[in-house]
């Protein structure tokens, strides 16, 4: 059994407006704010990256050690960089977000020359925020269009 209904005139306009309203609501509901604990997690992650203590550097040092390379002694510690978050916006659900961060380091450009960063931010079951790594602009804007992820498919679980 097949049922067809053709809409025309004002009926089509009402249905179109309803669909557009629903899509707009879904997009607006995915624009999130990041609480101070999330900002601290992002700032801490960026400080570790700019100090050369990020996960990438740790993995490279581990692989060199396993390969038997002689590891030079670490240079004396430099002062921690003053990382300031200039602007922060996020898209996603309340617990899983892609965050767009504009940063300055020591009141200037970051050492890597990238003042605009995209990061995956996830709230753990104990309430802590964790930065899982880099993202990109595509995923940042894609989070507006996709339904918010459920906790069961969280990044890293």
Q: Quote the DSSP letter at residue 66.
A: H
Per-residue pLDDT tens over the stretch 117-155: 999 999 998 989 999 889 999 989 888 877 644 333 444
Per-residue pLDDT tens over the stretch 52-93: 776 676 777 778 777 877 666 666 566 778 889 999 999 988
Closest CA to 96 of 156, 44, 28: 156
What's the alpha-carbon Rg for the chain, to the nearest Å?
A: 22
For the chain, the structural domain boundaries read 34-51+81-148
């Amino acid at each position: 059994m097949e049922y067809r209904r053709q809409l025309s005139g004002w009926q089509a306009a009402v249905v179109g407006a309803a669909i557009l309203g629903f899509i707009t609501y879904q997009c607006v509901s995915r624009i999130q704010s990041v609480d101070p604990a999330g900002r601290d997690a992002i700032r801490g992650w960026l400080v570790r990256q700019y100090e050369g203590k990020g996960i990438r550097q740790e993995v490279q040092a581990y692989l060199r050690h396993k390969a038997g390379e002689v590891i030079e002694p670490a240079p004396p510690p430099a002062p921690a960089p003053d990382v300031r978050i200039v602007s922060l916006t996020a898209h996603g659900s309340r617990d899983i977000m892609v965050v767009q961060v504009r940063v300055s380091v020591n009141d200037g450009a970051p050492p890597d020359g990238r003042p605009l960063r995209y990061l995956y931010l996830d709230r753990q079951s104990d309430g802590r925020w964790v930065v899982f790594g880099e993202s990109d602009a595509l995923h940042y804007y894609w989070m507006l269009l996709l339904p918010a992820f459920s906790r069961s498919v969280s990044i890293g679980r």
